[in-house]
Structures are given as C-alpha cells and as structure tokens.
C-alpha cells in the first residue's frame, strides 16, 4: 500500500440487494462488472447523497465489490456502507499521488461524481469503463465564471447522480452509525431533570437538533432566529441539541445568545453528529450536509431553503424543505457570499413563528 492513502475494509464479504432494473453496461474483461469505484470526495452533502447509488449498483451487479474514494474527513461516515473506503487528504500532493497508485487498474468500472481534472485522472487510472457526472456544458461553465451559472432545478441531486451512472433511478441514502459514536451521543443526550412544573407540553422532553451553519452566507437563516426557534421549542417541552463545527462558531454564538442548548455537539466528530441525529425526533437546519446526514440515518429533517433549489437538494418525505417560494429563487446552485439582488428576502422574510409551526407539524406527523 503506497504511503499517504488509507483503506478501510468495512465489508469484506460484500452483499447484494434486489431492486429495480437498470440498463446493461459493456462487459469488462469478458466477465461482467465485478468491481466498481465511486469517486466523490467533497462536499459533505454531496458525499452523503451519492450513497443513493449503492442499492441500484448492487441490484444490477449481484456480488459486485464497491469501493469509494473520498476525503479523509468523510471516510468514517462511509464505513460499512461500501466494501472498502480509500481515503486521502485533498491538501496533500503525496496523498493524492498515493491514492492514484493504490487504485490503478483495480476496477472494471469507475463512476466519477466529482468531475474535476484530478478525479478524471483517477478514474482513467482505475478502470477501463468510466462514467462521469457532468453538471455543465463547456459553454455553461464559461458563463458561470462571470456569474451567470445555470441553476439545475429539474431533478434531485440523487437523480442526477443516477443518470451519470446510467442507472434508471437512485436508491435511498444510507449511513451506518458506529456503536462507539452512538454511545458518545447517548452520553450527551442524557436529559437533566426538569424543574417542577416545567418540561411538559407538546415535546414531553423529546430531543430536536438545531444546526444553524451552512457553507455559504446566502444559505444561512439568521442565527439569532435559530436561537429564538430553540427557545420557543424548549417552552413547549422539547430538548435542544446544538450541532455544528469550528467554522460555524460565529453563528453558534448568535444562537446561544437567544437559547441555552440542552446538549452541545459542536466539538464532536461527524460520526457522533450522525449518532445524535439518529436519536432526535426532528432536525432543523439550513441547506447543508447535516440535513442529508439526518435523512440518511433515519431522522426527520426540516431544511430551510433560500437561494438554492429545494427540488434538487431538499430532503424526501417525511422530511420537508421549507421555502418561501419567491420568484427570484432559486438563483444559485450552491449559494454565494451575497444576494445578487441585495435584499436576501428568501430568508430574511421567513419568520420564526412559521418555522415553529412546521416543526410541530413534523413532530406529530
């Protein structure tokens, strides 16, 4: 094994899943497709959404061995989902080179969902048969460089990935929560006794998770409103777990100024966050990777959408995408630093009371 890459052999025996029919791919080496490499290493939400290919791939190729190339930060989430995870550091040239050497010539089919120059190189080295997710034409890519990106709003992200892999339809997203992560989450979610006369109401001490972060500024509902939401839900008997990471600290501070969370997961690993979400009755957040983790572990997410497409990125039922549906939205595929119209009405006009109402509907649904 070349230095700088890591293999996590999480399911040596493999498994097969029966499901819908997909179109045949050309045979490789005269024996059919027996090994597949999936390439998706950023961002968090995209990696989770790409797990929707696992079920239909195993249905098409019973006994197929599926491996995944991803960033080391996301590798623990994929343990047990595929047969092997190959991780690398995107910022380390030696790690990148080692990953290429580790994968060279080992697969019948490579599915490149990243579509970057380096991922194309990896796919070419790994397999003779390749499929690639191409989001833009060359002309559209040039237009995006001057701020005229074409917004994809006619299919879900999972459906787009399935098309790229030449599958009829995607499966469900799925992550496996590790026992150690589940134990840590349980420790933090142990409820403290409520004072006499408190802690009752609609929630009856159910846990909800609030995640105010998002990579881009325009995708963020104001942090102080998340705090007001948390306080309103606590007054109805719910317990609030706060989720986020180091990059979210300014937003977390804004939330804490309005609401004191009952459990704080902001310094925990991604597997522990997944375990916490698994135990919560509801998760409320912006259009972000944590929404997709919540969906993948069986939680019920309420995702707040502003400038991005609820159709493409929103959670499936019983989760819900909450959007005001303004005529100017969606205006971007992934978010931006500022609203192109300078008003940010798609999120500024969303009131706390509207989100509380949706939360209560989902909790009892």
Confidence of residue 330 (pLDDT cuts 50, 70, 90): very high
- pLDDT tens-digit series, residues 181-191: 999 999 999 86
Fold adopted by 179-364: Rossmann fold (3.40.50)
| pLDDT > 80? residue 19 | no
Q: Crossing angle for the helix pair 249-256 and 223-234, nearest 10 degrees? A: 40
Nearest in space to 147 (alpha carbons), one of 342, 305, 345, 340: 340
Fold adopted by 6-134+144-164: Rossmann fold (3.40.50)
Query: Would you list the domain boundaries of the chain?
Result: 6-134+144-164, 179-364
Q: With 0.85 as the threshold, say if the pTM is over it.
A: yes
- pLDDT tens-digit series, residues 339-365: 999 999 999 999 999 999 999 999 988
Whole-number average pLDDT of the chain: 89
- pLDDT tens-digit series, residues 245-300: 988 999 999 999 999 999 999 999 999 999 999 999 999 999 999 999 999 999 99
Mean pLDDT over residues 76-90, rounded? 97
Q: Which residue has the higher pLDDT, 334 or 26?
A: 334
Measured distance CA(50)–CA(7) in Å, rounded: 19
Task: Provide the greatest CA pair distance for the chain.
Answer: 72
Confidence of residue 158 (pLDDT cuts 50, 70, 90): very high
In DSSP notation, 195-242 reads PTT-S-SSSTT-EEEEE---SSGGGPPPHHHHHHHHHHHHTTT-EEEE
Residue 109's beta-bridge partner residues? 36, 129
Residue 173 and residue 292 in contact, taking contact as beta carbons nearer than 8 Å: yes
Measured distance CA(271)–CA(268) in Å, rounded: 8
Same fold for the pair 6-134+144-164 and 179-364:
yes
pLDDT at 311: 98
CA 245 to chain centre: 15
Backbone dihedral angles phi then psi of residue 178, each to the nearest 5 degrees: -75, 145
Confidence of residue 27 (pLDDT cuts 50, 70, 90): very low
């Amino acid at each position: 094994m070349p230095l700088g890459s890591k293999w996590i052999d999480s399911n040596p025996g493999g498994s097969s899943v029966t499901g819908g029919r997909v179109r045949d791919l050309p045979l490789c080496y005269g024996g059919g497709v027996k090994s597949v490499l999936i390439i998706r290493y950023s961002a968090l939400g995209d990696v989770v959404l790409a797990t929707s290919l696992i079920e239909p791939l195993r249905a098409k190729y019973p006994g197929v061995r599926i491996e995944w190339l991803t960033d080391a930060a996301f590798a623990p989430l994929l343990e047990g989902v595929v047969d092997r995870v190959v991780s690398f550091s995107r910022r380390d040239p030696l790690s990148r080179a080692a990953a290429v050497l580790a994968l060279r010539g080992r697969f019948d089919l490579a599915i490149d969902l990243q579509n970057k120059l380096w991922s194309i190189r990896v796919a070419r080295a790994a397999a003779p048969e390749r499929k690639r997710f191409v989001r833009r034409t060359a002309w559209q890519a040039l237009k995006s460089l001057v701020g005229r990106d074409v917004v994809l709003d006619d299919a879900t992200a999972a459906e787009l990935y399935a098309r790229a892999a030449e599958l009829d339809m995607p499966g469900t997203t799925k992550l496996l929560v590790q026992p150690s992560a589940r134990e840590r989450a349980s420790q933090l979610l142990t409820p403290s006794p409520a004072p006499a006369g408190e802690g009752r109401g609609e929630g009856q001490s159910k846990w909800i998770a609030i995640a105010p972060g998002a990579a881009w500024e325009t995708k963020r509902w104001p942090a102080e409103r998340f705090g007001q939401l948390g306080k309103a839900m606590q007054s109805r008997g719910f317990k609030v777990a706060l989720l986020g990471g180091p990059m979210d600290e300014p937003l977390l501070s804004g939330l804490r100024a309005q609401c004191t969370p009952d459990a704080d997961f902001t310094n925990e690993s991604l597997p522990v966050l997944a375990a916490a979400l698994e135990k919560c009755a509801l998760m409320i957040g912006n259009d972000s990777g944590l929404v997709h983790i919540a969906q993948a572990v069986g939680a019920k997410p309420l995702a707040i959408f502003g400038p991005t497409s609820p159709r493409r990125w929103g959670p499936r039922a019983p989760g819900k995408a909450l959007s005001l549906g303004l005529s100017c939205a969606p205006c971007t595929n992934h978010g931006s630093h500022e609203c192109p119209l300078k008003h940010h009405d798609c999120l500024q006009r969303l009131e706390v009371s509207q989100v509380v109402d949706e939360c209560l509907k989902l909790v009892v649904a």
